[in-house]
């Protein structure tokens, strides 16, 4: 499929000399103990944070060479909390595409269908939505930009089991039907196995193990990952 991201000797606070390649179409899960640098690593991909040293390339170009609005259009981020604008669903979905004169209400309705919400939600004030609905709108707002890469930072950790199942179903359908590369931080290893095909185990700001995710969980190779999986 081809390399989409390259990280070369990247350093940032807790992260130490991260070298990593991500292929187009990967469903990469970043996991590890608290404070290991998972969210920091994720935020580097669309410049919510910048490295102190090293280089990050997207399709062979330094990500600093992209205008930030363009970069965040093609590399979208869904966070743990929805952080929606306090207006209507439509206002939230419209924000990104309007920056590029690409707003289309029919496409917005299609995006809502991808997250199991009907078109009538467009005019709904976001403060009338449940927590699960707000997180689905947050996902839809990112998808409205037609990203090539979907970054997910613990997107279900604040939700109950029913809403977790619904968001996971939305994501699985998206990954089957859309040409997306996914990079996701999660502490939920069962969720990781359901959604991911590759994994990175971080500890102390370093990649301790990287590979095929089911193999990593079933047959870990590093002593750090073995200890983590055994809850030591």
Q: What's the pLDDT tens digit per position in 175-229? A: 888 889 999 999 999 999 999 999 999 999 999 999 999 999 999 999 999 999 9
Please state the pTM of the whole predicted model: 0.93
Residue 232 has pLDDT above 80, yes or no: no
Beta bridge partners of residue 153, listed in sequence order: 185
* Tally of structural domains, the chain: 1
| CATH code, domain carrying 99 | 3.40.50.300
CA dist., res. 100 & res. 106, Å (int) = 17
Q: What's the CA dihedral at 178, 179, 183, 188 to 10 degrees?
A: 30
Beta bridge partners of residue 75, listed in sequence order: 149
What are 23-74's pLDDT values in tens digits?
999 999 999 999 999 999 999 999 999 999 999 999 999 999 999 999 999 9
Give the pLDDT confidence score for residue 157 in this predicted structure: 87
Residue 1 has pLDDT above 80, yes or no: no
Q: Which domain, by its residues, includes 119?
A: 3-229
């Amino acid at each position: 499929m081809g390399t989409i991201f390259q990280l070369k000797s990247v350093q940032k606070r807790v992260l130490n000399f991260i070298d990593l390649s991500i292929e187009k179409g990967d469903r990469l899960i970043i996991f590890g103990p608290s404070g290991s640098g998972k969210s920091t690593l994720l935020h580097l991909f669309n410049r919510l944070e910048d490295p102190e040293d090293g280089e990050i390339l997207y399709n062979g170009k330094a990500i600093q060479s992209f205008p930030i609005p363009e970069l965040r259009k093609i590399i979208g981020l869904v966070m743990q909390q929805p952080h929606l604008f306090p207006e209507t669903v439509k206002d939230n979905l419209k924000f990104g595409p309007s920056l590029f004169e690409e707003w289309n209400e029919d496409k917005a309705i299609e995006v809502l269908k991808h997250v199991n919400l009907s078109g009538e939600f467009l005019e709904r004030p976001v403060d009338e939505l449940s927590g699960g609905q707000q997180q689905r709108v947050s996902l839809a707002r990112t998808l409205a930009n037609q990203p090539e890469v979907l970054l997910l930072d613990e997107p279900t950790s604040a939700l109950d089991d029913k809403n977790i199942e619904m968001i996971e179903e939305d994501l699985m359908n998206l990954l089957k039907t859309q040409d997306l590369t996914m990079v996701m931080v999660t502490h939920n290893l069962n969720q990781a196995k359901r959604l991911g095909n590759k994994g990175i185990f971080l500890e102390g700001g370093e990649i301790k193990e990287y590979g095929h995710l089911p193999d990593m969980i079933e047959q870990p190779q590093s002593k750090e990952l073995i200890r983590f999986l055994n809850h030591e």
